[in-house]
Structure 1
């Protein structure tokens, strides 16, 4: 019995440690596998929404690069970007913004599931910030391609409340498609370009990438390089559109207009290259250059310090977000020995689309230095007349489209001009009528007590020296 007891004891001493080692090894292996699974999930997932991240998206696209063909399937690739997301973050905080992005992610997934899109070979990803990407591979009927972006926009628009806060959520979508082998980088680039173009049009827009759009983007990039070159080489100069006083016979001011000596850039008008400068971050440099040149021109002139003459300078709406603008303008005026009371900064009425307290504060601070502010192209529909009391401007410039309607034959054509003049006088604002092209328009405006006029009937844009000659001729 003692031998048997020793035998069992030996077996136990031998097998129990082995069993414990096996169990521990098994549990450790499982734990390692679990951690590896978690790491794989983290490596391919967006930490905020749980959707695939950019790395997984690229992996999915690479897998499709050489399989897409007319016979095996098609690729639809779209990028959805939230409109004014930075404004939402600034207003409500980043935590609120994160919760909104999570809600959009869930909304996109639910909408695609409702359309049976997720039953296909599909990827849904948040690639950066407020941008979401959807890739769909397989047999794609035209009706699906047409409806997917529309339905996604509708579903995002239906988000009305986050964290108990009511808000309106808008977005834009850019799409591209492939039916043959492709480069994944190009597909991502095309969808982004199309989305950005959609955002430039308005809210809740959709754009499909095309060769026409590609040409447009290429042309913009060319303009950007030309602008950079012209700035470095000082290839810009100013011409001046004279502004005539109440009688229409005497010059009381001028508007500075940008022009360029750069032959390639001069094939484009300022209406084309200035928006490109705004889009690509060159507008502040361009604005400062124009202001400096205008101040220098006035400085070395008999009109400097003459309180009966004012010089208007156009500035970008982006300056309404630039807290340094008022001080910068005043510093320039001091350096060039310019009286700020002679300077009027012009903003287009479209600048007031995103008008907020920051914008109001910047305009007010600009005015405290003595500068005046004008609202250009007034009456084109962006500003409610009742809001005029909230905008600290000094002058309204009637858009040329209203002036051109005055033809002397149909008195109703001038009613909009009459309304603007009445409102301006009600708010004690100066009024300049743009686009005066004939004597009938000038007479009509004079009889309705318009303050000032400019247009080709009175003078085309001319050099500073030519304008001085006109002023000297008036005084003789």
Structure 2
């Protein structure tokens, strides 16, 4: 039989070119796969190892059979299906094993070993594939076989070196460079096939064929389909992986850029990921494998979603954990935030809420808390009330700054008389209370004598020499009273008695002082039934818009006419209502009655105007305040756009998150917020900027001495400018003269109210006032 020479046989140029392209694309995939099979032995690494090795092996196998089909002399040959399938195994196994070996240990020895494995797999695939040709006998030329082995090893060495050892394996490689290496390695792989074919001498014979032969045309379609399916699958997976990498990079960038520390751990606390913020947070600490090694309170058993504060490295950290569950992968996500400044601010705010702003002594709120605690523990306590005599006269002489300097000196002297177990508090401009507990409660009189001696020496305030006297009153628990309010009231009444007896006197509470207390108790009892007996009424003080020269709205004022006691001033019963909790029912009545009245006014045909309602700090602090207000608005049918709530400056002192949230909810409902009695509290500019307040109401005390105190004009002018700079309207209370009005017009004050325009009106008088009054200004200063 005539031998077939593979050196002289004709070729199908298209199929040979296609084989070369397949070899080059396979090389391109090898470069991309190298970056994905490098690293730790993770599930993702193993998947890419198997998928990449299989794809590359099948790519080289496909190249081999496409090239074989390109030989014209073999066009009529058939192939053994099982041998063809079997030829895939060494190619795939060689690629997988070589990738796995070189990805774990990058040394020159592993490069030689892994390239040998891949080259052996490629050569084995080639000659096993040649054995699949049926009806022929094959003879091999040893020299060409050795050359084909050398080319296969060299091609494998080149691809693995480029993918794992060269500089292109660690840095971002441009597409032209990748293409160049792909064509070089494709040429090497294709050359190996040519060398292998030249090493084979084919002699036709009549040997029986396989029971399952495969036609070359069918094989060509099969191989082509496998090639395109394989490459298509690879590039889809590659594109998806690129998107996943972009997503992971994006997420990692976010996690690394956040100022919060982010950590993921296993359920037992082993750290799997930590961002740079975590390392910075525990800077100076040696790296630890477990989360709890950084601090004992960083426990893996912490409840999810519940922030926990821990102290470490002079910092306060807030730690919150969240479950990360994905099938069998149970991990924990930790967020660690440095809240040192926040906690310090909260502590400062709490300190401000319970301490006097000027002297930094505990204030009335702290005093009540201490007394309540002592009474609950049934621990005896003495209340020593100290009041500096003639304080109003001294304040007028010294002015605001001088009065503050004097009270600071008084407070400092009193501090030096205090035993570590005693407590000194400031509850008024010139009023102090000292608490003595347990056995020391019997020393209240001696303590008062020390205080008198301490302030008997002269004071120097800005060059002015002053001599002060004081009045002291003492009450005891449980001897005299059983509540903090009574204890303080009795001590105050005793101090008043001592003042009547002369200066620097000390007096303990006696039964003769009870009438005033009984009067307060009578008011308290009568207040319980005042609502049901319809003794409470509302009157309405007009508020004037100076720029529009018209009525802007009315403020509802509470009045109490008792059938036996007579007229009771709000200053007498409101504090009692707040102390007893009756302020809530009274406050709800005021809101409901005010809204009903506004609706009745609209039915008379007058134009709508705002209705201002005062809200007690205790009433505003209730969690259900906003819900209750909404239900009243729905019940009465009042338009919330014309409702204004006046909240006192002192009720915003602590500026808690709940207060801000309530104000925001009210603002979203369209309700106006007015800051009442501005200037008498301690609000900061930053608080005012952040709160949704539309109107600042300057307390009437600032206008009383507007023209007699040279500093008062500057103070009020600054308040008006401050309100305008914060984007708020400004209202001045207590306007009673035309001179005051002219000055406020000149300073661009927005609203005013006071007896100059009208005294408080009854419900029925308001519509007549609105209809009959056409102008409020008697001069043209706008």
TM interval, short-chain normalised: 0.5 to 0.7
Residues 1:464 and 2:763 are matched in the alignment? yes
Out of 419, 422, 425, the position equivalent to 2:721 is: 422
Give the secondary-structure state (helix, strand or coil) at the position aligned to 2:538.
Answer: strand
Q: 2:380 aligns with which of 133, 149, 173?
A: 133
Is 1:309 the counterpart of 2:576? The answer is no
Q: Which of these residues, 566, 570, 576, is aligned with residue 270 of structure 1?
A: 570
SS at match of 1:267: strand
Q: How many residue pairs were aligned?
A: 324
Gaps of 5+ in 1: 1-86, 92-125, 136-146, 158-169, 179-183
Shift of the alpha carbon at 1:430? 1.3
The verdict on how the C-alpha distance between 1:404 and 1:247 changes in structure 2, with shifts beyond 3 A counting, is: farther
| TM-score when normalising by structure 2 | 0.37
Query: Which is greater in Rg?
Result: 2
Residue 382 (structure 1) aligned with residue 649 (structure 2): no
Q: Is residue 400 from structure 1 mapped to residue 667 from structure 2 by the alignment?
A: no
Question: How far apart, CA to CA, are the structure 2 residues paired with 1:369 and 1:397?
Answer: 22
1:187 aligned to 463, 474, 479, which one?
A: 479
- How far residue 452 of structure 1 moved from its aligned partner, in angstroms, is 0.7
Alpha-carbon offset, residue 296 of structure 1: 0.8
Instruction: Report the CA distance between 1:383 and its aligned residue.
Output: 2.4
**Structure 2 CA distance, aligned partners of 1:390 and 1:305?**
38
Contact 2:422 2:434 in 1 (8 A): no
Change (3 A) 1:150 1:274: farther
Q: Distance in 2 between matches of 1:309 and 1:200?
A: 44
- Cα distance in 2, alignment partners of residues 366 and 319 from structure 1: 14
Q: Is 2:583–2:619's contact at 8 Å kept on the other side of the alignment?
A: no
1:277-288 matches, within 5 Å, as 277-288=577-588
Q: Structure 1 pair 333/297, CA: closer, same or farther in 2 (3 Å)?
A: same
Q: Deviations for 1:175-224, whole angstroms, at most 9, x for unmatched residues?
A: 6899xxxxx996163685554549999xxxx9953447533332221111
Alpha-carbon separation, structure 2, partners of 1:354 and 1:210: 38
Deviation at 1:394, TM superposition (A): 1.6
1:122 maps to which residue? Answer: none
How far residue 371 of structure 1 moved from its aligned partner, in angstroms, is 1.5
Equivalent in the alignment of 1:455: 754
Q: Distance in 2 between matches of 1:431 and 1:381?
A: 16
SS in 2 for 1:302: helix
Change (3 A) 1:330 1:191: closer
Q: What is the CA-CA distance between 1:423 and the residue it aligns to?
A: 0.7
The corresponding residue for 2:744 is: 445
In the TM superposition, residue 414 of structure 1 has moved relative to its aligned partner by 1.3
Q: How far apart are 1:367 and its partner, in Å?
A: 2.3
- Residues 1:436 and 2:735 aligned together: yes
Q: Counterpart in 2 of 1:364?
A: 664
Instruction: Pick 1 or 2: higher relative contact order, CA cutoff 8 A, min separation 6.
Output: 1
Contact 1:253 1:309 in 2 (8 A): yes
Q: 2:521 aligns with which of 194, 202, 221?
A: 221
Separation (CA, whole Å) in 2 of partners of 1:390 and 1:200: 39
Does the C-alpha gap of structure 1 residues 148 and 471 become closer, same or farther in structure 2, counting only changes over 3 Å? closer
Structure 2 unpaired stretches of 5+: 1-345, 351-372, 383-413, 425-432, 445-475, 494-505, 776-782
In the alignment, is the contact (CA less than 8 A) between 2:695 and 2:729 conserved in 1? yes
1:298 corresponds, among 573, 598, 602, to 598
Aligned to 1:49: none
- Structure 1, 206-215 or 240-249: larger mean CA deviation: 206-215
Residue 156 and residue 277 in structure 1: after superposition, are their counterparts in 2 closer, same or farther (change >3 A)? closer
Mapping 1:209-248, distance limit 5 Å:
209-211=509-511, 214-247=514-547
1:246–1:450: 8 Å Cα contact kept in structure 2?
A: yes
1:212–1:322: structure 2 CA closer, same or farther, 3 Å change rule? farther
Cα separation, 1, equivalents of 2:730 and 2:477:
53
> Is 1:337 aligned to 2:669, yes or no?
no
Distance 1:176 1:235 in 2: 45
Change (3 A) 1:313 1:304: farther
Give the deviation of 1:265 after TM superposition.
5.0
Equivalent position of 2:204 in the other structure: none
Deviates more, 1:361-370 or 1:209-218: 209-218
Aligned partners of 1:246, 1:471: CA distance in 2, in Å?
16
Which of 584, 604, 621 aligns to 1:321? It is 621
Question: Matched residue of 2:541: which SS?
Answer: strand
Deviates more, 1:342-351 or 1:270-279: 342-351
